[in-house]
Chain A
Amino acid sequence: MTELIAVGGRQMTMHAASEGGREPIPSQHMDRERVDEWLTPKLHNWDICNQSASLKIFSNYIANLHLGTSLQDIFGFYKRLKATELCLGLPGGAEANENLAKSAVGNKRGFSETVDLMLILQSNKEGAVDLNNVASASKEKTLLKDPAKPPAKAQVVGWPPVRNYRKNIITQQKTSGKEEASSEKAGNSGGGASGAALVKVSMDGAPYLRKVDLKMYKSYQDLSDALAKMFSSFTMGNYGAQGMIDFMNESKLMDLLNSSDYVPSYEDKDSDWMLVGDVPWEMFVDSCKRLRIMKGVEAIGLAPRAMEKYCKNRS
């Protein structure tokens, strides 16, 4: 049996961690109700306005629970959970879960209402969930059996099959005439995927991951457009003129973060989750390891200074 645990990307305090006490720590083999029982009260106590906490603490916390998962896994599970309940119609109360998820979204500010905390246990005869297969199977179904609906045109890894060597040379020519475009040429570090900055993109609610090559884009706007196309059935928030989230304009930021629109967040080199748009583009390309597109409300925890103010105003 495999467990899928879904939590919203929330900041937690160490206070919550130490509350664990002597209770039996859930393991992967525990059944759903018990894990549910154990985890729910902890999450209710998380203080979303505590700026000193970070998602790193959260991931350490979870790791210490011997669940054997990392933060990435949790987000991954969350994504897949969303997939199972919203898109694939798997048995086991999919509709009920869907309703729950929908009602939880975008309505309240309070953490406890917006955290989607659900546990679904999947079992299949081979002891592991073949979700990727199922996900891609359903994707295939929609793509092939329904020719009227065009497939989502995303930048797929390795397609079209043009070698990096050639792509890099052409990119060089496109962007600069004579200058040595050293940031765009084939990675000369000897070995490895030459020059591509491939990151995975997951979107809450989408049934599958995508990979994008950040070097294919020149600005946040380009990336934003591409992401919008990639997950075109979901709405994307507006970015403003340069494609960067306007940190200066707090009310705009608040609107964005409180809406049900999606914002992209990314995991940087230090494994911190940040809002996309807070650093210059080149720096972002260098430090971004992974992208996650989450609902505005859930990204609240990632915008530190603004949120602090917001919380203060609220309370």
Chain B
Amino acid sequence: MSEDDEDQSPATDLRSQPPCSPNKSRNCISSSQTFPDHVLENVLENVLQFLDSRCDRNAASLVCKLWWKVEGLTRSEVFIGNCYALSPARLTQRFKRVRSLLLKGKPRFADFNLMPADWGANFAPWVSTMAKAYPWLEKVDLKRMFVTDDDLALLAESFPGFKELILVCCEGFGTSGIAVVANKCRKLKVLDLIESDVTDDEVDWVSCFPEDVTCLESLAFDCVEAPINFKALEGLVGRSPLLRKLRLNRFVSLEEVHRLLLLGAPQLTSLGTGSFSRGDQSQQEPPDYAAAFRACKSVVCLSGFRELMPEYLPAILPVCANLTSLNFSYANISPDMFKPIIHNCHKLQIFWALDSICDEGLQAVAATCKELRELRIFPFDPREDTEGPVSELGLQAISEGCRKLESLLYFCQHMTNAALIAMSHNCPELTVFRLCIMGRLRPDHVTGKAMDEGFGAIVKNCKKLTRLAVSGLLTDQAFRYMGEYGKLIRTLSVAFAGDSDMALRHVLEGCPRLQKLEIRDSPFGDVALRSGMHRYYNMRFVWMSACRLTMGCCKDVARAMPNLVVEVIGSDDDDVNRDYVETLYMYRSLDGPRKDAPQFVTIL
């Protein structure tokens, strides 16, 4: 049974609704079998309402048909990890009173151009079905979905009580869609656009918010690549007394941030600072930015810095001591600029940055941020052959200084097994470990050996590890370790690794909790694919691109597993070589293959 999917594995009979005749339940005089049911239902409803966790609800729904039905009536938050795992109709049939939907679309590797555009993951069928079924819908949270302006318009019109719209890594819409939502959703509390591709339709969406006091609590538009009407924004902030989170885009200058902060600083808990550079250079005396930040007594989360002018960075010093989350990942800061800032951030738990802070900067983090839980270091220059300002030295320092580390994403050019082994011992709380050694197939640059022992130590010693991404030169041995020790691993990302089918077999046979498997450019073929057939119904998806799969084998798998949708995605050209499988993307589905597959997708 999966932990986080709303629907069970197809083994559970979800296709047929349990017989539910309203007449029977109302007729209290009828046989003794229905009377307890009726009471039981009511009791159950009242009890199950308190169940929040998906896990618990999934478990409860398996008890018996009655529980299944009542749980379906009382679940208000639905999580769908793969939008093609079921149809919208099935959702509305099973769950009657949904108020909040979290829906995920494309697989993650689509972010890296490994999938042609227009693959799918359209929000349209979902919004149109829910418009009729859930007029009380309040919250929609989408990740990697294709959302059009029409979808947003329909959403705004159909759900009068709509409160929260969160779009993460989505695309297909523009500022006109945002304008409709801003205008029509009068109860809107949250409008978060995060790393989405928003077209500039040259619509002044900020002015579209209603004129009176708003309910806005969170407004994030840092990914919108379009200038905004600052006066309107000022007005909006002024009439949004509940606003706690404000993330501005790079078209908001430092002076404008200054003005906004003077308006509404004390309530803000999260601030995205926009460009963090001066728009109007003609002014002789810059305003006292530090004073504005001093007014931010409640800010615990700081981001932005899109076009940082480093001489103004010290303005944020007043808030550093309170910060629990700091995102410098768009700011090219040198260690010298960085160290004075970080020395004050004792409470920091989440820290994102570019590798321009160098190993030296990481050492400063390790020295100060003892509460650090999550660290992400992105490359300023994401190419394979550059020098690389961070290395195993930075990682070693972090592992020694930040013992509570739970989540790591680290891009570097060079790494050693020793550093990974050290981290595995020093940071036992690690649940997410994603290391990207940018040069493909790079061994330990000190010993020249493969990175097997390092990753092996991570899976062995970090007993809580649920997510792993590997890189560097890896042989089958690394995968043997993963299969042997990675008992809690749910997500695994592999690229340019392994020697043979055995590697994948180790993982498929050894990792019982594996849900999401994404592999690219690795020598795994048909034998490996077949070895996992007992697993695929229990996984959310498997992605394999540029491996050694043949069409014949994929067809066999598709034939043997009718509830598995096996998509073969060709590249966008006319390669005649039909036996080679460029990309395989397969996932379980309760409603069979999708109808909206584009031409380059072949569903076997």
Q: Establish whether residues A178 and B579, one from each chain, have CB atoms under 8 Å apart when the complex forms.
A: no
Please report the C-alpha to C-alpha distance between residue A73 and residue B576 in the assembled complex, in whole angstroms: 8
Please report the C-alpha to C-alpha distance between residue A163 and residue B579 in the assembled complex, in whole angstroms: 30
Q: Establish whether residues B330 and A188, one from each chain, have CB atoms under 8 Å apart when the complex forms.
A: no
Q: Collect the chain A residues with CB atoms within 8 Å of residue B335's CB.
A: none
Known: A70-B574, A158-B520, A163-B195. Contact between A144 and B438, CB under 8 A? no
Q: A271 at interface (Cβ–Cβ under 8 A)?
A: no
Residue of A nearest to B306 (CB): A169
Rounded to whole Å, the gap between the CB of B554 and the closest CB of chain A is 13
Q: Collect the chain A residues with CB atoms within 8 Å of residue B438's CB.
A: 159-160
Please report the C-alpha to C-alpha distance between residue A126 and residue B174 in the assembled complex, in whole angstroms: 47
Partner of A165, one of B195, B473, B521: B195
Q: A177 at interface (Cβ–Cβ under 8 A)?
A: yes
Q: A16 at interface (Cβ–Cβ under 8 A)?
A: no
Q: Collect the chain A residues with CB atoms within 8 Å of residue B440's CB.
A: 151, 153, 156, 159
Please report the C-alpha to C-alpha distance between residue A25 and residue B225 in the assembled complex, in whole angstroms: 55
Residue of A nearest to B439 (CB): A153
Partner of B332, one of A2, A137, A173, A194: A173
Rounded to whole Å, the gap between the CB of A174 and the closest CB of chain B is 8
Residue of B nearest to A2 (CB): B576
Q: B111 at interface (Cβ–Cβ under 8 A)?
A: yes
Q: A102 at interface (Cβ–Cβ under 8 A)?
A: no
- 8 Å CB contacts to A: which residues of B546-599? 546, 548, 550, 552, 573-580, 582
Q: B200 at interface (Cβ–Cβ under 8 A)?
A: yes
Rounded to whole Å, the gap between the CB of A287 and the closest CB of chain B is 18
Q: Collect the chain B residues with CB atoms within 8 Å of residue A7's CB.
A: none
Q: Collect the chain B residues with CB atoms within 8 Å of residue A70's CB.
A: 574
Residue of A nearest to B281 (CB): A178
Interface residues on A, range: 35 or more
Q: Establish whether residues A137 and B112, one from each chain, have CB atoms under 8 Å apart when the complex forms.
A: no
Stretch of B54-62, B382-390, B392-400, B527-535 at the chain-chain interface:
B382-390
Q: Establish whether residues A126 and B520, one from each chain, have CB atoms under 8 Å apart when the complex forms.
A: no
Q: Collect the chain B residues with CB atoms within 8 Å of residue A156's CB.
A: 440, 521
Q: Establish whether residues A191 and B443, one from each chain, have CB atoms under 8 Å apart when the complex forms.
A: no
Q: Establish whether residues B441 and A151, one from each chain, have CB atoms under 8 Å apart when the complex forms.
A: yes
Q: B380 at interface (Cβ–Cβ under 8 A)?
A: yes
Q: B63 at interface (Cβ–Cβ under 8 A)?
A: no
Known: A140-B523, A173-B332, A185-B225. Contact between A163 and B112, CB under 8 A? yes
Q: Collect the chain B residues with CB atoms within 8 Å of residue A32's CB.
A: none
Q: Establish whether residues B495 and A186, one from each chain, have CB atoms under 8 Å apart when the complex forms.
A: no
Stretch of B73-81, B113-121, B357-365 at the chain-chain interface:
B113-121
Stretch of A103-111, A127-135, A250-258, A303-311 at the chain-chain interface:
A127-135
Q: B456 at interface (Cβ–Cβ under 8 A)?
A: no
Q: Collect the chain B residues with CB atoms within 8 Å of residue A164's CB.
A: 111-113
Known: A167-B382, A188-B199, A192-B117. Contact between A129 and B443, CB under 8 A? no
Q: B136 at interface (Cβ–Cβ under 8 A)?
A: no
- 8 Å CB contacts to A: which residues of B435-468? 436, 438-441, 443
The count of residues in chain B whose C-beta lies closer than 8 Å to any C-beta of chain A is 64
Known: A160-B382, A162-B411. Contact between A129 and B332, CB under 8 A? no
Q: Collect the chain A residues with CB atoms within 8 Å of residue B546's CB.
A: 136
Q: Collect the chain B residues with CB atoms within 8 Å of residue A169's CB.
A: 306, 330
Q: B146 at interface (Cβ–Cβ under 8 A)?
A: yes
- 8 Å CB contacts to B: which residues of A194-216? 194, 196, 198, 200, 213
Q: B266 at interface (Cβ–Cβ under 8 A)?
A: no
Rounded to whole Å, the gap between the CB of B203 and the closest CB of chain A is 13
Interface contacts (Cβ under 8 Å), in number, total 149
Residue-wise, chain A 182-194 has the 8 Å CB interface mask toward B (1 for contact) of 0001111111111
Q: Establish whether residues B171 and A178, one from each chain, have CB atoms under 8 Å apart when the complex forms.
A: no
Known: A133-B580, A190-B174. Contact between A165 and B223, CB under 8 A? yes
Q: Collect the chain B residues with CB atoms within 8 Å of residue A137's CB.
A: 523, 548
Q: Establish whether residues B579 and A130, one from each chain, have CB atoms under 8 Å apart when the complex forms.
A: yes
Q: A157 at interface (Cβ–Cβ under 8 A)?
A: yes
Please report the C-alpha to C-alpha distance between residue A206 and residue B199 in the assembled complex, in whole angstroms: 40
Q: Establish whether residues A157 and B117, one from each chain, have CB atoms under 8 Å apart when the complex forms.
A: no
Q: Collect the chain B residues with CB atoms within 8 Å of residue A159's CB.
A: 112, 384, 438, 440, 495-496
Q: Collect the chain A residues with CB atoms within 8 Å of residue B382's CB.
A: 160, 162, 167, 170
Q: B158 at interface (Cβ–Cβ under 8 A)?
A: no
Q: A44 at interface (Cβ–Cβ under 8 A)?
A: no
Please report the C-alpha to C-alpha distance between residue A169 and residue B378 in the assembled complex, in whole angstroms: 12
Q: Establish whether residues A157 and B199, one from each chain, have CB atoms under 8 Å apart when the complex forms.
A: no
Q: B277 at interface (Cβ–Cβ under 8 A)?
A: yes
Q: Collect the chain A residues with CB atoms within 8 Å of residue B523's CB.
A: 137, 140, 144
Partner of A194, one of B118, B171, B306, B552: B171
Partner of A130, one of B112, B118, B174, B550: B550
Rounded to whole Å, the gap between the CB of A255 and the closest CB of chain B is 31
A-B contact pairs, 30 of them (CB 8 A): A2-B576, A72-B573, A128-B578, A130-B579, A133-B548, A147-B473, A153-B385, A159-B112, A159-B496, A160-B379, A160-B383, A160-B438, A161-B111, A161-B436, A162-B411, A166-B329, A167-B382, A187-B197, A190-B174, A190-B197, A191-B117, A191-B171, A191-B172, A191-B197, A192-B118, A193-B113, A193-B117, A200-B573, A213-B113, A229-B385
Footprint of A on B, CB under 8 Å?
Answer: 109, 111-114, 116-118, 146, 169, 171-174, 195, 197-200, 223, 225-226, 277, 306-307, 329-330, 332, 354, 378-385, 411, 436, 438-441, 443, 473, 495-496, 499, 520-521, 523, 546, 548, 550, 552, 573-580, 582
* Extra pairs beyond A126-B552, A132-B580 (9, CB < 8 Å): A126-B579, A156-B521, A158-B109, A160-B379, A161-B111, A161-B112, A178-B307, A186-B225, A194-B197
Listed from nearest, the 8 A-B pairs whose CB atoms lie closest are A158-B112, A192-B117, A190-B199, A162-B382, A132-B580, A160-B438, A128-B579, A191-B172
Footprint of B on A, CB under 8 Å?
Answer: 2, 69-70, 72-73, 76, 126, 128-133, 136-137, 140, 143-144, 147, 151, 153, 155-167, 169-170, 173, 177-178, 185-194, 196, 198, 200, 213, 229
